[in-house]
Structure 1
């Protein structure tokens, strides 16, 4: 049985899910514990997705990807959003068999396939869309399997589609993010500590094409990035950042206030 926990109530509630027999801190690889988390000031500790049905979304994420509650959260929110939300959540895995395994579990949990698994110049990958609307990319640089699928996740990446690549890259560099890899004025990824979610930038139209969707979209991104420093901020493309741990702390404070109110009554 999945363990589903809710922090707070109403539209701001955060729902976190834990698979049976797991603490939420493990890697996805069976029998292997996660290494120590080393998170720097600019690292992303976790991602929060805004969804209409937090419990259903949490169950999908556990059944499809089982990332662990340390890096992915969902909360109830209904801000208007149309078309492409301007990002994808990407899981880098060891080999094609792992891509196929995650695609199969995602589809079984209710995802739609946007791009079937296939070989490319860069390796092997597929794109699926979750019932909550978030787009997920599963990819590996390997073109051949070396064994059975392990379902091990090597990297968890937030890939943002940006309108002005140079300006957004400069914005993050000015905030202290260190560029780890880049391809001209098209793509850049930033350094991330062990256990942190990696941030990468891609031109919006190029990202939409890569994902198999139209580039047009508006309204809320329906995503909050937790980490990146001690202060909340919003980047040039409208992506909101909150200090790591702020949302969960807010939920605990809400619970405490409500409990106090009930006691007083």
Structure 2
């Protein structure tokens, strides 16, 4: 495995979820969806982050998501590191939209520069070591606080690790949660579960289900 091949969100209603993701973020073809009734409560331990080039694009995407049915968790605002906002999709998945820029260079374009799956983990160093053993390559690492892995293509979701409590705080939610993550990943020929309970399915199984 060298990177994430696909992301599957487990939702109550696949038709409604596909409509939301196509309308809100234009990601209908980049996310797999499947029906699940697995119990889940509170913080699911991850977020999907979209990086854009300027504040106007942050506001445009967040406003579009809210108009499509998302709930605002953190209103769009300026901070020391840039500009961003956090929303929760109707299926419960939390999304963060952000930019490092503090001023607009022009009108919103709707272009997404980078897509990242951030997993909230108990021990960043241990989880980083685990994923390196699975074949991923570290692109960025900041001690026990954050780690990011390379992706094979610029259009893919990158995988990154962040302390669970810190991630929840950044998203504006409590860090307690239970039940299913409602998330499945592929990128390996064999199935496995990481130290924090995130599941990776065999690529051959996912292809057979597509």
Structure 1 residues 46-68: Cα deviation after superposition (integer angstroms, max 9, x where no partner): 21100011100110111100124
Alpha-carbon RMSD: 1.2
Aligned partner of 1:241 in structure 2 is 200
**Which structure has the greater CA radius of gyration?**
1
Find out whether 1:217 has 2:154 as its counterpart: no
> Taking structure 1 as reference, are residues 245 and 89 closer, same or farther at Cα in structure 2, changes over 3 Å only?
farther
Aligned partner of 1:147 in structure 2 is 106
Q: Return 5+ residue gaps in structure 2 as ranges.
A: none
Matches within 5 A, 1:57-206: 57-69=17-29, 71-194=30-153, 195-206=155-166
| 8 A Cα contact 2:190 2:203, kept in partner | no
Q: Return 5+ residue gaps in structure 1 as ranges.
A: 1-40, 252-265
Aligned partner of 2:168 in structure 1 is 208
The whole-number CA distance in structure 1 between the counterparts of 2:133 and 2:92 is 32
| 8 A Cα contact 1:49 1:74, kept in partner | yes
1:43: Cα distance to partner?
Answer: 1.3
| 8 A Cα contact 2:4 2:158, kept in partner | yes
| 8 A Cα contact 1:44 1:225, kept in partner | yes
The whole-number CA distance in structure 2 between the counterparts of 1:98 and 1:249 is 37
Number of equivalences: 209
> Taking structure 1 as reference, are residues 245 and 131 closer, same or farther at Cα in structure 2, changes over 3 Å only?
farther
